[in-house]
Structure 1
């Protein structure tokens, strides 16, 4: 129950801490991604949230196929 997060309009939102943990990046790297417009975010007073579907879209758009040495 500790990890359960209610959905807002069918969407899940992640905190900076959660996203850093998922992506295995530092908070500073996450800040750079935000500042450079790489990751969209929602700014609330004292809180930054990331829409899970936005993060998935960014990751899919930037996906590069693995190098295939057999070609």
Structure 2
């Protein structure tokens, strides 16, 4: 014997329900965000984060602009180091 429940929602009730879920997630997400955050990033993730090419990332490494660690051929970047690089190179609006 299986139990089934069927709920029928009109558009307004569905919109209200959806908005309530979005608001609950928005309120709860900040306390869990750090647990989902990766401490180390791949070259591809840094390329996407900075919107630059693989060659540019290699230049940044060669010039000592971004910290990294290498194990064999695998290169990883500390997230904090990349975020610091972004902060140091940020140009603030003059107004």
Give the match for residue 72 of structure 2: 45
Q: 2: distance between equivalents of 1:67 and 1:18? A: 31
- DSSP 3-state at the match of 1:66: coil
- Identify the structure with the greater helix proportion: 2
Partner of 2:58: 31
Q: Which has the bigger relative contact order, CA under 8 A and spacing at least 6?
A: 1
**Where does structure 1 differ by over 4 angstroms across 4 or more consecutive aligned residues?**
none
Unaligned runs of 5+ in 2: 1-34
Name the counterpart of 2:86. 59
Q: Whose radius of gyration is greater, 1 or 2?
A: 2
**TM-score normalised to the size of structure 2?**
0.56
Aligned residues between the structures: 61
Report how far residue 58 of structure 1 moved.
1.4
Q: Is the 8 A contact 1:20 1:30 kept in 2?
A: yes
Q: Which of 5, 19, 37 is 2:46 aligned to?
A: 19
Q: Aligned partners of 1:34 and 1:19: how far apart in 2?
A: 12
